[in-house]
């Protein structure tokens, strides 16, 4: 799998401790499709739904991202390209 994660603390000016930040980088068609499926899979929370929609919009803008979404559908996941055409 081609995932990278980075975590760091982001200082803020509101008098509270630093905010944690986590960056997940998924590289390649298979890993992007798995990440999207994780975010929009069965019974997502409202936060997952919101994040999933944002990432999905960004992925759909790129040819390789569309390839990842097709791969997801071909392997039993939701057809997220079809749902974009319907909306």
Q: Which helix (H) or strand (E) holds 21?
A: strand 19-26
The predicted-structure confidence for 27-56, as pLDDT tens digits, reads as follows 888 888 888 888 887 777 888 888 888 888
User: What torsion do the CA atoms of 64, 69, 74, 75 make, to the nearest 10 degrees?
Assistant: 110
Please provide residue 19's backbone torsions phi and psi, each rounded to the nearest 5 degrees. Answer: -90, 135
User: What torsion do the CA atoms of 60, 35, 37, 84 make, to the nearest 10 degrees?
Assistant: -10
Structural domain containing residue 81: 3-86
| Domains held by the chain: number | 1
Q: pTM for the complete prediction?
A: 0.61
Q: Could you give the percent of the chain with pLDDT greater than 90? A: 3
pLDDT at 87: 52
Mean pLDDT of the chain: 84
């Amino acid at each position: 799998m081609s995932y990278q994660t980075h975590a760091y603390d982001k200082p803020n000016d509101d008098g509270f401790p630093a905010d944690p930040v986590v960056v997940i980088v998924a590289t390649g068609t298979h890993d992007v499709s798995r990440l999207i499926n994780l975010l929009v899979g069965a019974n997502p929370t409202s936060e997952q739904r919101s994040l999933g929609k944002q990432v999905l919009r960004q992925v759909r803008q790129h040819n390789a991202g569309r390839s990842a979404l097709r791969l997801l559908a071909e392997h039993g996941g939701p057809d997220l390209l079809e749902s974009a055409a319907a909306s």
